[in-house]
Structure 1
Amino acid sequence: MTNTPRKKPPPAPPTDPMPRRVDPCVATLVDKPPKGPDWAFEVKWDGYRLAVRVEPGEVRAITRGGYDWTRKFGSIVAEARQLGHKSLILDGEAVVLDDQGRSDFGLLQRAIGKKPSLHDAGEIIFYAFDLLYLDGHNLQNLPLSERRRQLEPILAGRTGAIRFSEEVDADGEEFFRVACELGLEGIIAKRRDKPYRSGRRPEWLKIKCARHDTFVIVGYEPSTVPGAIGRLLLAARKGEGLVYVGGCGTGWSNQESAKLRELLNAIPADSPAVKLKRKGAVFARPLLVAEIEYRAWTQDGKLRHPSFKGVREMGGPTEVYEIVA
């Protein structure tokens, strides 16, 4: 009887060591969405960028800057242990949603902060939009479409702390218009055929929605540049009075800054028009208004990322932004 020699098992596929750190791909800011079938579109989430790393015996949540925030995102870490894979790296955004389902950075800050909040850390959701490593295989050189094809079944149907950030099958301009109407921060466009590369990249684009409103100028903080303004102090109407909504320190040229300071110095106020204490601030009578572009409101009622667009005399109470209690 002849012994049939045993066939050798096929060699195991090569295993890529998990990278110790992957610097995130960062989207480039542009004015309008790109066109063409090569681009995929997603909602731009307003939160903290995270890499969720699952390894045998350990799960960590690492911020864009490389900080280990595992303890701050306990519900995300707990759910990552249940995804059914020994090792993976998810790229995504941790957010808290408001009553309309929009991500709100102020709510997120309060949820993970020390101050009392109506939202707790258990309400934080991680929207994963990319898969960089899976069970011994580094996926960064694969095109985005393939990375997401492998990511989707891992997260399909999940409605807990970790969810799949869906692509939106729509024309980019139309999607952007609708996103802004809904009060979202903006949209992201990504090339389907490109690998994952760290740093600010042209194959990932961000298009932000901006808000434009008019606010009363109640004073300014001087600049370190002689004769210039460091920050305009702004107010909105609330009831019969004004309420401080923050400072604006960008959007003007050196010449415009000097002219603004001259205008405000010419209408000094005996006392501030709003409840505000600022060392070194120069207060003015509320006779001028500023056109301001901004992204959103913070949780404590201040303008987020305001930029100055112009100034004029107040024409009437209706043109000033009003906060409805």
Structure 2
Amino acid sequence: MTKPPRKHSKPLLGEADALLRSRPRRRRDPHQPNLPLDPMPDRIEPCLALPKARPPKGDDWVYEIKWDGYRLAVHVEPTGIRILTRGGHDWTDRFPAIKQAALWLPVGTAILDGEAVVLDEQGRSDFGLLQQSLGGRGGKKSSSDAIFMAFDLLYFDGYDLRKSKLDERRRLLEDLVPAGEQGDIRLSEQIEADGDQLLASACELDLEGIIAKQLRAPYRSGRGGEWLKIKCIQSDGFVIVGYEKSTASFGGIGRLLLAARKGSDLVYVGGVGTGFNERSAAELREQMEKLIIGKAAVNTGRKRNAVFVDPKLVAEIEYRAWTHDGKLRHASYKGLREEQDESMVYDIE
């Protein structure tokens, strides 16, 4: 049995600035065209946000807070609920509260696109808290603390909405998940504001960043540029290809050696030696010990006291910028991504 609706969390963007407000909710047109029903997709590859340094300009863009969690698709089907990860893995049993909330949605069939998050005391999404609630990387626990922030509706009562404009999909979504409700499925509200001002406000509140979306764009799988992500601090997934030993560091890890994707290959992008604590370093060392190989999977240059590992682990890394020769600057270790999230490895264009 699911928990009662949660108490109203603290607002992320306060009322200090009148420009920062949710778009007014509009009822959808009740005169629906009498069209044949569309088959329900078994799975939809998600639309991915293209990273940009600054928010776009123009009235055809709307904004949302960038949530720091797991991308999910919630399928409301005639036979029940399915909750799929970005990579297509079935995690229905790992989010029982979200599943129950989906059963209560006033719809026969639907596919909701959104993010599973755990909020801290200030109402900010915290990826570390989400991982802990699931038992850590590779854990098998179910999370009753995670909620689903819905930001798109891809299928609705027999109709495939991917060719519809974003504002049309949002009107239907807001009928299913009204703004302001505090249950286990909530609406990721759109914010009308100047993009630069909103980004500054998000960074002041220690949020990860903002998402910009083209108001009249259809839903396209992949990174087509209709959605943009603008982060306060850059954070992406990189493959661990080895580490340098150190007797003075947690877990004996002086520095992780990292790689990014470039086409079908991996390319060395430098290392990271900060962000570890005693627990995270011990867990990471245990994972890497199982994957030791004799020769580096990528060219890391000459390294002293290096141990190379099979590139199976994906680390989430925060960083400020790139050097002129393609290495990470001011990098900090944030945590390990799940095996199902290997598609989140940074791709060098």
Give TM class, smaller chain. 0.5 to 0.7
Residue aligning to 1:131: 153
Where does structure 1 lack aligned partners over 5 or more consecutive residues? 1-10, 248-255, 269-277, 281-290, 300-304, 306-325
Among residues 104, 107, 121, which one is paired with 1:82 in the alignment? Answer: 104
Q: How far did 1:12 drift?
A: 5.3
Residue aligning to 2:67: 45
Q: Which letter maps to 1:153?
A: D
Report the Cα distance in structure 2 between the residues aligned to 1:96 and 1:114, rounded to whole angstroms. 14
Residue aligning to 1:293: 330
| Pair 1:56–1:173, CA change in 2 (3 A) | same
Report the Cα distance in structure 2 between the residues aligned to 1:16 and 1:223, rounded to whole angstroms. 44
| Pair 1:297–1:181, CA change in 2 (3 A) | farther
Report the Cα distance in structure 1 between the residues aligned to 2:119 and 2:257, rounded to whole angstroms. 37
Q: How far did 1:57 drift?
A: 2.7
Residue aligning to 1:21: 43
Please report the RMSD computed on the Cα atoms of aligned residues, expressed in angstroms: 3.9
| Pair 1:154–1:87, CA change in 2 (3 A) | same
1:184 matches 2:207: yes
Aligned structure 1 segments of 4 or more residues deviating by more than 4 angstroms: 217-224, 229-233, 235-238, 243-247, 294-299
Q: How far did 1:25 drift?
A: 0.5
Residue aligning to 1:285: none
Task: Report SS of the residue matched to 1:128.
Answer: strand
| Pair 1:223–1:298, CA change in 2 (3 A) | closer
Cα pair 1:236 1:244 within 8 Å, conserved = no
Cα pair 2:256 2:273 within 8 Å, conserved = no
Equivalences for 1:161-172 in 2 at 5 Å? Answer: 161-172=184-195
Equivalences for 1:32-181 in 2 at 5 Å? Answer: 32-113=54-135, 121-156=143-178, 157-181=180-204
Report the Cα distance in structure 1 between the residues aligned to 2:128 and 2:276, rounded to whole angstroms. 22
Report the Cα distance in structure 1 between the residues aligned to 2:220 and 2:142, rounded to whole angstroms. 34
The percentage of counterpart residues that share the same residue type is: 47
Q: How far did 1:158 drift?
A: 2.4
| Pair 1:295–1:84, CA change in 2 (3 A) | farther
**For residues 259-310 of structure 1, what are the alpha-carbon distances to aligned partners after superposition, in whole Å with 9 as ceiling and x for unaligned?**
xx6xxx7xx9xxxxxxxxx968xxxxxxxxxx953578459xxxxx9xxxxx
**For residues 108-129 of structure 1, what are the alpha-carbon distances to aligned partners after superposition, in whole Å with 9 as ceiling and x for unaligned?**
11111269x9x97111010000
Cα pair 2:275 2:332 within 8 Å, conserved = no
Q: TM-score, normalization: structure 1?
A: 0.65
| Pair 1:21–1:87, CA change in 2 (3 A) | same
Cα pair 1:48 1:63 within 8 Å, conserved = yes
Cα pair 1:210 1:293 within 8 Å, conserved = no
Equivalences for 1:267-306 in 2 at 5 Å? Answer: 292-294=329-331, 297-298=334-335
**For residues 87-141 of structure 1, what are the alpha-carbon distances to aligned partners after superposition, in whole Å with 9 as ceiling and x for unaligned?**
00100000111122111111111111269x9x97111010000001111111111
| Pair 1:237–1:140, CA change in 2 (3 A) | closer
Report the Cα distance in structure 1 between the residues aligned to 2:276 and 2:154, rounded to whole angstroms. 48
Report the Cα distance in structure 1 between the residues aligned to 2:274 and 2:330, rounded to whole angstroms. 14
Task: Report SS of the residue matched to 1:41.
Answer: strand
Residue aligning to 1:234: 273
Q: How far did 1:236 drift?
A: 7.7
1:201 matches 2:240: no
Q: TM-score, normalization: structure 2?
A: 0.61
Cα pair 2:272 2:333 within 8 Å, conserved = no
Report the Cα distance in structure 2 between the residues aligned to 1:237 and 1:223, rounded to whole angstroms. 15
Report the Cα distance in structure 1 between the residues aligned to 2:333 and 2:61, rounded to whole angstroms. 27
Q: Which letter maps to 1:124?
A: A
Task: Report SS of the residue matched to 1:85.
Answer: coil
Cα pair 1:23 1:199 within 8 Å, conserved = yes
Please identify the structure whose Cα radius of gyration is greater.
Answer: 1
